[in-house]
Chains A and B, each alone.
Chain A
Amino acid sequence: MREAWRSFRALVGKDLRVEFRTRDVLYTTGLFALMLVVIFSFAFLSDPSKARDYGPGIIWVTVLLATTVGQNRLFDRERENDCLWALLLSPVSPEVLFLAKVTAQLAFALLMQVPTLGLIVLFFDLRVVDPASFFGALLLGNLALGLVGTLFSAMLMNSRMKEVLLPLVTYPLLVPVLIAGVKVTALALGAPVAEDPGGWLRFLVGFDMIFGVVTVLLFGRMIRA
């Protein structure tokens, strides 16, 4: 167990170190997210009074698209020089490897999203009335995106067309997250609906738990095949 924890820390540390040294993923996905926000502003802001209706959807579409772009790059570094095989040949179990990748990708995604979300709130003049649910939903949603996206990003690492295949494969699985995320965000931004965000947050927790267990098991199984 202590071994696993040490390997986990080394793996996450390695990814963070490489990323902060090159900043490829953070810069490109961050800029991409910024472009999305600008484009959405032009596309939807003809009627500023509707901003609150569009806000949650724009937040989640931005998160989803930018995260996918980042996830496509997630295993590029392991592919260069075939480094993933060094990891798979080390005594580290595939499960630890997977969780470390999910953690690193989650860190990148959240770092990229902080300025993006700030901009959306600013551009669309949104007011976060329930910050706990707002950030809770984003955290839980990002974890779900991370689990599913990391799994398939690893599996599709060497396939041609992976850029298109990744969203094609992950989005149908992530629809529940999107539904729940948009709901909670709308409530957190003060949608005039009498509904408790707690139910949807619990739903997200459930999704993360089910998919956490299944993706970890699948990763090990699929790698061994």
Chain B
Amino acid sequence: MADDEEDRREAPVELRCEALVRVIGRRHVLREVGFQARGGEVVALVGRNGAGKSTLLAMLAGRRAPDRGRLSLTAAGVEARGGALRGLVGFLPHELLVYPDLTARENLHFTAVLHGVPDPAARVAAVLRDVGLEADGDRLVRAFSRGMQQRAAIGRLLVSGARVWLLDEPTTGLDEGGRRWLLSLLADQGRRGRLVIFSTHHPSEVQEAATRVLVLEGGRVVADLPAGAEGAARAFARMEGGGA
């Protein structure tokens, strides 16, 4: 990739959550979730449906405000706020965040300009190559398969230069090759000092990409384990046993 030098200059980020609470109506969706994570980590978020994974990711992305608790993101020891904070975080929910009536190239170029990327055209061309859409860059995203749309959406994260990647079940809709590609990309982002947090239902994905796994259950973090074969197995065992 072309931006190795730029990556080395990136200041380390640190995410800190303290007792995050989210309430919908008269029920808790998140109950005092607290953890810290720093650049270089690839955190897998596992838990059954309704455990609060999507809510937590949306909250980390600043899309839902916590009802109680504190959330802070520091870059190079300085707490980020406002526009600087927004530029640091990249979010990929189920709804992809790409415009169907623009081509992949137009989508990425638009993102590049909004994020103030120098020489957007060259950067976009490089990213299109990285996500494997070089040949389809000038087709409308609407005409893409789900897997290709997913690639375009990941291209958006790459172009934006976000330091914190938040992805909600990012392998949905990808074929086996795409899945492997994405997981190795996430692991690579971690090695470049970025913080990646993604949710998943597959033990193999935890094993392949993550350095750490958080188990969410009933809106709480019930286990915080190092990833790897053993951690993944324990995390999923914890998840299945916890509900009995």
A contact residues vs B (CB 8 Å cutoff): 3, 6-7, 10-11, 14, 17-18, 21-22, 77, 80-83, 85-93
Does residue B45 face the partner (Cβ distance < 8 Å to A)? no
Given A83-B97, A90-B114, A17 and B102 contact (CB-CB distance below 8 Å): yes
CA–CA, A80 and B160, complex, Å: 20
Residue of A18, A80, A85, A86 with highest tally of chain B CB at under 10 A:
A86
CA–CA, A164 and B129, complex, Å: 46
Does residue B210 face the partner (Cβ distance < 8 Å to A)? no
Contact call A87/B96, Cβ cutoff below 8 A: no
Pairs across A and B, CB under 8 Å, 25 listed: A3-B116, A7-B114, A10-B110, A10-B113, A14-B99, A17-B102, A18-B99, A77-B99, A81-B95, A81-B98, A81-B99, A82-B93, A82-B95, A82-B97, A85-B61, A85-B97, A88-B63, A89-B62, A89-B86, A89-B90, A89-B91, A90-B111, A90-B160, A91-B116, A93-B83
Contact call B113/A7, Cβ cutoff below 8 A: yes
Given A82-B93, A89-B89, A92-B83, A10 and B114 contact (CB-CB distance below 8 Å): yes
Main secondary structure of the interface of A (DSSP, over half): helix
Number of A-B contacts (CB under 8 A): 76
Q: Which residues of B contact A10 (CB under 8 A)?
A: 110, 113-114
Contact call B111/A91, Cβ cutoff below 8 A: no
Q: Which chain A residue has the least Cβ–Cβ distance from B93?
A: A82
CA–CA, A88 and B114, complex, Å: 11
- Per-position contact with A for B70-109: 1 when CB-CB < 8 Å, else 0? 0000000000001110110111010111111110001000
